[in-house]
Amino acid sequence: MLGYLIEKEFKLAFRDAIIPRITLVMPLVIMLVMPLVADMEMKSINICIADSDRSGYSARLTGKIAASPRFVLAGLPATYREAMSSIEAGAADMILEIPFEFERSLASRHTAHVTISANSTDAVRGGMGSSYLTGILNDFARELHEERSPAVGMSAAPAVTVQNMFNLRLDYKTLMIPALMVMLLTLMCGFLPALSIVGEKESGTIEQMNVTPVGKFTFIFAKLIPFWVIGFVTLFIAMTVAALLYGLVPAGSLAVICLLAAIYILAMSGMGLMISNYSNTMQQAMLIMFFFMMIMLMMSGLFTPVSSMPQWAQAVTVIDPLKYFIDAMRLVYLKGSSLSQLGRETAALLVFAAVFNGWAIWSYKKRK
Amino acid sequence: MKTGDTSIRVRDLTKRFGTFTAVDRICFDVKEGEIFGFLGANGAGKTTAMRILCGLSKPTSGEGTVAGCDIADAEQIKRRIGYMSQKFSLYENLKVWENIRLFAGIYGISAKETARRTDEMLERIGFAHGKNALVKSLPLGWKQKLAFSTAIFHHPKIVFLDEPTGGVDPVTRRQFWELICEASERGVTVFVTTHYMDEAEYCHRVSIMVDGRIEALDTPQNLRAKYQANSMDEVFRQLAGKAKRMENCKK
């Protein structure tokens, strides 16, 4: 009986006008476009340097900033007021103000003040710009210090060394791609099963099924299988694109990824089926699905780290299946974690799969 | 017509939705191989009653047996019946033979047997050429004849038909009823709802529901005689005219 139902689901899925195409197109588009657009690295920040000192040191600092690939010198206005008007006009993002007697202060008191002003209407750009600039200023300060007291060595300036591990080039794409794969699976395997059952409700075929001896477990299980296959096709396309285009291959084992993905797809499909049992129309199912998807995506740590969320939000992320799979994918891809190191994530995903599918079977009523 | 044992037996069957009583203590028997017409105006409770008998809906109270099984045991009933709903319900994106294969497979008929019976059935209804057509490409008349043939494909004891000929042209309706009569002659009990009174004349016995209760139940001839009417149409209008439900709604 199960065999006939699975056969039917596959035929219906492949004959659908949209499903086979979206299975191929969606991973390609998401992997080709998203890593480039969902990039938090800032390049070409426009900076105005208002240099009131006009000294050797200030010229050297200006040159150092201009040489950085992060910054584009948008102008060298004489006054801060002038610089401000170029921010207002949108020509500049930041101002560095070098005060009069900058060089003298450095020479006599070994310290000097500069002011950084950043347009933070785009908070990310403002924040990142300030921190890049602070980095350059620290670097500049250390250079000066070393020049003046080479014999004393590390007397005053605190030297901080940062060594990045697992993502050596601090490449944002490396962090985003494994998470984008999770997003992809979520979209494909969450929406399609939900629409599949509601579609049968709308066309009336579900009632025909309900008067047959098909058990609800069998019916739901037959629905899950095709989406499982579709999920894996999507995942493999995405992984191939990541390897060919971005040279990103998992540091850990492929088997671990497949196992976790298998559990995750099951969990997401279960959630989709569960929602479809409570919806009578496609619109209802889509709306409810979007509601949960938005929250789950935003709270998953896909774009912003979970650790920077308020305490209550961090508590909520405990019930976000996306979070666990994104964590696990990043760990396997970047750090090469093995299954034994991913015990927490695996266990959580298994619980979600069991709860969602159990709920889906329980809430599917053959008889009212 | 083979008359034999009781196929459907219903006593005091009631279904309430909140304070609304859709089906009100109905009682009737249907004999094996009988074509039983289940008539009533829209909203009289026909479909609700039929859904209970098919195991799609739980009765609020009352008892009954369908094909020898208690109506509480819905899953057992489902093995022994066929059902064709108001809404067309074959898979539009499957081919004719694929739909038959699916439903036959669900009832545990072997693939080989299904293939043999499919050809035989399509031959009988004169649709052998349509075997590989997608169901969505068929005209409504063929869809309905196909849905009926699929509903009785697994040789159920009873077939429930909920307004099977809605929107179908008179010629096709006639052919459809020929299929029903053939099935009845093979011993399948046919339980059918309809709004076409000429179809009611084809039934062996007819019940007329008004406001959730069965107001009349007899052969078409006896009903015509009893209500001194020339046709079932007149009988129906006399009885359905008594309905209070819609008047109550207006208040």
Per-domain boundaries in chain B:
6-89+163-250
SS3 of residue B168 by DSSP: coil
- Do A267 and A249 belong to one domain? yes
Q: What is the pLDDT along chain A (368 residues), one digit of tens a residue?
A: 889 999 999 999 888 888 889 889 999 999 998 888 876 667 788 899 998 888 888 899 899 888 888 888 988 888 888 888 888 888 888 888 888 888 888 888 777 888 888 888 877 777 778 888 888 888 888 888 777 765 444 444 444 555 556 665 556 778 889 999 999 999 888 888 888 889 999 988 998 999 999 988 899 889 889 889 999 999 999 999 999 998 889 999 999 999 999 999 999 999 999 999 999 899 999 999 999 999 999 899 888 888 888 999 999 999 999 999 999 999 999 888 999 999 999 999 999 999 999 999 999 887 77
What does the alpha-carbon distance between residue B108 and residue B125 come to, in Å, rounded to a whole number? 23
User: What is the 3 state secondary structure string of B193-238?
Assistant: ECCCHHHHCCCCEEEEEECCEEEEEECHHHHHHHCCCCCHHHHHHH
- Do A283 and A219 belong to one domain? yes
What pLDDT is recorded for position B95? 95
Query: What are the helix (H) ranges across chain A?
Result: 2-15, 19-37, 56-67, 80-88, 102-109, 123-148, 172-203, 205-210, 216-246, 254-277, 282-298, 311-316, 321-330, 343-363
Token pair 């900076």: residue? A47
Q: CB count, 10 Å around CB of A14?
A: 12
User: Could you read off the pLDDT of A139-198 as tens digits, one per residue?
Assistant: 888 888 777 765 444 444 444 555 556 665 556 778 889 999 999 999 888 888 888 889
Q: Is residue A83 part of a domain?
A: yes
SS3 of residue A364 by DSSP: coil
Q: A98: closest CA among A142, A133, A135, A68?
A: A133
The answer to whether the predicted template modeling score (pTM) of the entire model surpasses 0.95 is: no
A94-98 sheet: strands from edge to edge? A71-75, A45-51, A94-98, A115-118
Chain A closest-CA separation from residue B238 CA (Å): 34
Domain boundary among A148, A183, A213: A148
User: Could you read off the pLDDT of B136-175 as tens digits, one per residue?
Assistant: 999 998 999 999 999 999 999 999 999 999 888 999 999 9
* Contact residues, chain A, for B48 at CB < 8 Å: none
- Do A28 and A103 belong to one domain? no
Q: Are strands B6-17 and B61-66 parallel, antiparallel or unpaired?
A: antiparallel
ipTM of the complex: 0.87
Amino acid making up residue B117: R
Q: CB count, 10 Å around CB of B126?
A: 11
What pLDDT is recorded for position B1? 44
B6-89+163-250, which class in CATH?
Answer: alpha beta
Q: Are strands A94-98 and B69-70 parallel, antiparallel or unpaired?
A: unpaired
Based on the number of CB atoms within 10 Å of its own CB, is A242 exposed (0-12), middle (13-18) or buried (19 or more)? buried
* Residues linked to residue B100 through DSSP beta bridges, in sequence order: none
Cα dihedral angle (B50, B54, B57, B63), rounded to 10 degrees?
Answer: 80
- E strand or H helix at B102, and its extent? helix B96-106
**With contact defined as beta carbons under 8 Å apart, do A66 and A140 qualify?**
no
Q: How big is the A-B interface in CB pairs under 8 Å?
A: 72
What does the alpha-carbon distance between residue A52 and residue A102 come to, in Å, rounded to a whole number? 8
Q: Is residue A163 part of a domain?
A: no
- Do A241 and A288 belong to one domain? yes
B6-17 sheet: strands from edge to edge? B20-31, B6-17, B61-66, B69-70
- Do A33 and A177 belong to one domain? yes
Q: How many CA atoms lie within 13 A of A29 on its CB side?
A: 7
- Do A193 and A113 belong to one domain? no
Chain B closest-CA separation from residue A4 CA (Å): 6
- Do A34 and A62 belong to one domain? no
Inter-chain CB proximity B107 and A368 less than 8 Å: no
- Do A62 and A140 belong to one domain? yes
- The whole domain housing A279 covers 2-38+169-363
- Do A130 and A238 belong to one domain? no
Inter-chain CB proximity B98 and A203 less than 8 Å: no
CATH of the domain at A108: 3.40.1710.10
User: Could you read off the pLDDT of A72-94 as tens digits, one per residue?
Assistant: 898 888 888 888 888 888 888 88
Inter-chain CB proximity B102 and A8 less than 8 Å: yes
What pLDDT is recorded for position B99? 95
What pLDDT is recorded for position A129? 82
- Do A233 and A217 belong to one domain? yes
Domain boundary among A91, A114, A148: A148
Residue A213 in contact with partner chain B when CB distance is under 8 A = yes
What is the C-alpha R_g of chain B?
A: 18
User: Could you read off the pLDDT of B62-74 as tens digits, one per residue?
Assistant: 999 999 999 999 8
- Do A264 and A323 belong to one domain? yes
What pLDDT is recorded for position B107? 94
Q: Is residue A158 part of a domain?
A: no
pLDDT band at B52 (very low <50, low <70, confident <90, very high): very high
Q: Is residue A7 part of a domain?
A: yes
What domain count does chain A have?
2
If contacts are CB pairs under 8 Å, which of residues 9-38 in chain A contact chain B? 11-12, 15-16
Average pLDDT over residues B75-100: 91
- Do A103 and A195 belong to one domain? no
Domain boundary among A92, A114, A148: A148
